[in-house]
Structure 1
Amino acid sequence: MCRTFSNRSWRGWSAQAIADRLNEGDVLSPLEYKRWIGSNYVSTFKRNAKARWTAVSVLRVLKNPVYIGTLEQGKQTTPNYKVKKRFAVPKDKWVCIPDNHEAIISRDTFENVARILLSDTRTAPSADTVFPLSGLLFCGDCGRSMVRKNNASSSKPYYYYICSGYKNKAGCQSSHSIRAAYLEQAVLVAVQEHIRSILDIEHTLKTIDNLPYTSRQTQKADERLKAKHREIEKYQAYKLRLHEDYADGILSREDYVAFGARYSKKIEEAEQAASKLVQDIEQLAAGYSGGQQWIAYFKQHANISELNRKLAVELIEKILVFENQKIQIEFKFQYEYEQAFEFISSLTSTPEQLLSKGVC
């Protein structure tokens, strides 16, 4: 009674299109499956003699954390045993048990889906699939979403995006118009370049782990850390002496407050620098390239040749569109990428020095 479908055939489909496909394939809905296995199950969602898949039921499955191993209980309750009617319990009162059972999908996939559901992913009236960049495009000036339009009146119709704020006369003074084909090609090229850059970073990190000068860098970082600790102690001593001078009447209150704020700022800056040095030392000691899951996340798409919905959602957080068809892409794991790049740069003064040491 159940059929299977290729994962590729579902990419970019809307919830309603998925529901229709499941019904066409005679795939049992959750309610019908429970009935089929003999479960005594009653649901208020049943509307027909045979419960069918709907967009709502598809979305309910997509939002259910049970598939990533999380058990949620206590969603409903009754005032007492005499009252049969059940009432919803606020979500912060639910009992949630992570890793309660084996997950059947990854947390990354589940979180990607949750993010998509919060964005605008409408389809065209005659289409089943969601456009590759739906829900990811935003105006670079006002921050509102970009909407897809069709230049149907032209002899050569094409799709393009404009700022929804401009379209609705909600404040943005420019349409930020950009053709869909140009945008998608530009995003594809940017993704390919980003992945190549990440592969270069991975190679560099692995090489750094095997270089003899890495231990010397650890020693230098440790010396800088000790210097920062001495700096912190110095300014703390200054603050203590400052308090004593104020108590003895040597300093006015105005000077006491001004100098105190200055020393506090110096201490804060030194503590932040010390914290960063501790991270650097740990990375050098452990080998920075070890356990870089975010690199593996991008590596699986190293040979991409076309932009599709799955790829866009997995790799991109958002895309900002500016005037004159300029775009700015915020990739997933952007912080980790920048940290790795900063770490590599901190080992030498210039890229040429990296090259001379055989790092790049």
Structure 2
Amino acid sequence: MNVNDELKEWMAADYTRLSKEDGDKEESDSINNQKALIQHYTESHPELCLVRHYSDDGYTGVNFNRPGFQNMLEGIKEGQINCIIVKDLSRFGRNYIEVGRYIERIFPTLGIRFIAINDNYDSLYNNSSSDQLLLPFKNLINDAYSRDISVKVRSNLDVKRRQGDFVSPSVPYGYKRLETDKNKLAIDEPAANIVRLIFAKRIEGQSNQQIAALLNQMKVPTPIRYKQESGSHAKTAFQVYSTPKWYGTTVRRILENEIYTGTMVQGKTYRPNYKIRKPVARPQKDWFRKEGTHEAIISRNDFDLVHNILDTDTHQSAGQETIYPFSGIVYCGNCHQSCNRKQTVKKNKSYFYYGCYLSNHTTCCKGFCINESYLEQTVLSTLRQYINDLTDMEQMLSHLENIPIQQAEVKTLTQEIQHAEVSLQKYQQLLSSLYEDYHEGLLNKDEYLDLKESYQEQVNELSAALDNMTTQQDGLTAAFKADTSHIDEFRKYMESPVLNRKMLISMVKKIYIYPKNRIHIVFRFPDEFEKLLHFLPDAVSDKLIAREV
């Protein structure tokens, strides 16, 4: 200790910090309490003149990228302060390596006095070997405490995610937190109506950019502006202008968000450990996904439809307000490449064709095409017939439960399953009692081993048979519980005078064209219908999957 250092006046700054992420107690470690403690300490040490105040409220102590801390370093460089006072070492930081580097190397080099009140540490006096040993040990304890809290917090959040609780700090556009449970979501109708509009316009054939332009024209607040106007302090890194605008990327993020179907998807990113702040992408198989956690804004059918649209090549000509009905759907039947739309003019009249026009295609398909008007009329007629077939299938399924053969099969299987369950339970009990008989001397070793092998074989056979019969029973009863809501959707198009994009993309997956105006339509077939095809006559099943005209 230098006598002159002890007598000189120190230009001191207090540094305070609080972070829930580190497990800090709000009551005892509040910013105001820290300042009051430091103020009281300086009053009892007249050589300390408190001239600056630096604070980081809500910043973790495991790194030093904090605005208040960085401002304090600037104050040191400018010569405004030469003494730093904190409540304890944990307020300064919880990374024992970095804390040690500042206290033991940087501050002494710069002539900065460092005081941690509750740890009874003052760099002006604490220079003994015991102090030099104790200081890193305390920093190590603070670091370990932060790591332990981080593990517990992350584990607790993972449990909530698995249960379907919403744990993100930012609520998705279109929802708000339920007042009675902050981990549950409720529909925010004004924003939800915009979400429904976005999905509807995309299904109608508008591009993401066109939808964004429409929302800007309607003066619809962007998601971030809407939250701010609702009293939130939300911020975003995507905002470029002072007045936020809708962009195609904003629209696409909404269209791709499965949360609008009532399904909670969380945990897409994670932090490897408590010292790494930058999130890392988590494999999709490890995401936390739970269905039916909240009310849906968009039906699953519409969401899946839009997802298919986004995956489809939908080229749009300049000046065209909507996508052409057949964009991204028509393919060459020979090379299976996407066909282009071309225009020809004859006698001042325009004609449009879809064909395989790319120069690198083989000669077997180069140049052949099909008239767009002919394609529209043919596909429209085929879709109407398809809807009729689906309606027939729905009527047939509605009568399946009353067919005696179907009833007899289900009844027989149910009886066989019950009998198998009784037999399985019997052999499992015999198997479990064998060892007791052997232990009591009722069976010798050879008898015990032979009976054990025999009973175990019976258990395995019965278990396999039971699984097989249960699967058959589920298949038979599936028809009675079929969800035919798709058919109701398709029936709306029955009287449509023209073919539109929504009708086409809802029902058709691909259209293959061949020479001589031959086309092959592959329908966008719901999985629910596929499960039921084996209940229907083969002729009906075949024409519901694909159709050639």
TM over 0.5: yes
| Shift in CA distance, 214/181, structure 1 to aligned 2, threshold 3 Å | same
CA–CA distance in 1 between the matches of 2:280 and 2:478?
53
1:291 pairs with 2:478: no
| Shift in CA distance, 207/96, structure 1 to aligned 2, threshold 3 Å | closer
| Shift in CA distance, 30/9, structure 1 to aligned 2, threshold 3 Å | closer
* SS at 1:321 equivalent: strand
Paired amino acid for 2:369:
S
The higher radius of gyration belongs to 2
Task: Give the structure 2 partner of residue 170 of structure 1.
Answer: 361
Structure 1 residue corresponding to 2:494, chosen from 282, 292, 302: 302
Shift of 1:316: 1.3
Paired amino acid for 1:150:
Q
1:76 pairs with 2:269: yes
Paired amino acid for 1:100:
T
Structure 2 residue corresponding to 1:343, chosen from 535, 538, 542: 535
CA–CA distance in 2 between the matches of 1:338 and 1:86?
41
Pairs aligned (count): 292
More strand by share: 2
CA–CA distance in 1 between the matches of 2:231 and 2:506?
39
Q: Please list, as runs of the form range in 1=range in 2, the aligned pairs for 1:10-89 lying within 5 A after superposition.
A: 11-89=204-282
* SS at 1:182 equivalent: helix
Q: Please list, as runs of the form range in 1=range in 2, the aligned pairs for 1:88-127 lying within 5 A after superposition.
A: 88-127=281-320
CA–CA distance in 1 between the matches of 2:299 and 2:394?
23
CA–CA distance in 1 between the matches of 2:530 and 2:290?
34
| Shift in CA distance, 82/315, structure 1 to aligned 2, threshold 3 Å | same
Paired amino acid for 1:25:
M
CA–CA distance in 2 between the matches of 1:289 and 1:107?
22
Asked if structure 2 preserves the Cα contact closer than 8 Å seen for 1:141 and 1:172, the reply is no
CA shift digits 1:4-36 (9 cap, x unpaired): 769877621111111111000001111211221
Asked if structure 2 preserves the Cα contact closer than 8 Å seen for 1:198 and 1:337, the reply is no
Unaligned runs of 5+ in 1: 226-274, 348-360
Task: Give the structure 2 partner of residue 179 of structure 1.
Answer: 371
Q: TM-score, normalised by structure 2?
A: 0.47
* SS at 1:324 equivalent: coil
Asked if structure 2 preserves the Cα contact closer than 8 Å seen for 1:139 and 1:176, the reply is no
Larger relative contact order (Cα-Cα within 8 Å, sequence gap ≥ 6): 1
Task: Give the structure 1 partner of residue 351 of structure 2.
Answer: 158
| Shift in CA distance, 338/20, structure 1 to aligned 2, threshold 3 Å | closer
CA–CA distance in 1 between the matches of 2:269 and 2:260?
20
| Shift in CA distance, 182/19, structure 1 to aligned 2, threshold 3 Å | same
Task: Give the structure 2 partner of residue 146 of structure 1.
Answer: 339
Asked if structure 2 preserves the Cα contact closer than 8 Å seen for 1:319 and 1:328, the reply is yes
Asked if structure 2 preserves the Cα contact closer than 8 Å seen for 1:135 and 1:145, the reply is yes
Paired amino acid for 1:40:
H
| Shift in CA distance, 300/73, structure 1 to aligned 2, threshold 3 Å | same
Asked if structure 2 preserves the Cα contact closer than 8 Å seen for 1:133 and 1:309, the reply is yes
Task: Give the structure 2 partner of residue 132 of structure 1.
Answer: 325
| Shift in CA distance, 91/213, structure 1 to aligned 2, threshold 3 Å | closer
Paired amino acid for 1:319:
I
* SS at 1:42 equivalent: coil
CA shift digits 1:49-98 (9 cap, x unpaired): 11101111111110011111222333334454444444444434433333
Asked if structure 1 preserves the Cα contact closer than 8 Å seen for 2:478 and 2:532, the reply is no
Q: Percent identity?
A: 32
| Shift in CA distance, 8/337, structure 1 to aligned 2, threshold 3 Å | closer
Paired amino acid for 1:170:
H
Shift of 1:340: 5.3
Structure 2 residue corresponding to 1:321, chosen from 484, 495, 513: 513
CA RMSD of aligned residues (A): 3.7
* SS at 2:216 equivalent: helix
CA–CA distance in 2 between the matches of 1:134 and 1:304?
20
CA shift digits 1:180-206 (9 cap, x unpaired): 221111111100011112222333444
* SS at 2:331 equivalent: strand
Unaligned runs of 5+ in 2: 1-189, 417-467, 540-549
Asked if structure 1 preserves the Cα contact closer than 8 Å seen for 2:341 and 2:355, the reply is yes
Asked if structure 2 preserves the Cα contact closer than 8 Å seen for 1:68 and 1:106, the reply is yes
Paired amino acid for 1:301:
Y
Asked if structure 2 preserves the Cα contact closer than 8 Å seen for 1:192 and 1:304, the reply is no
Q: Please list, as runs of the form range in 1=range in 2, the aligned pairs for 1:230-269 lying within 5 A after superposition.
A: none
Paired amino acid for 1:173:
C
CA–CA distance in 2 between the matches of 1:338 and 1:97?
25
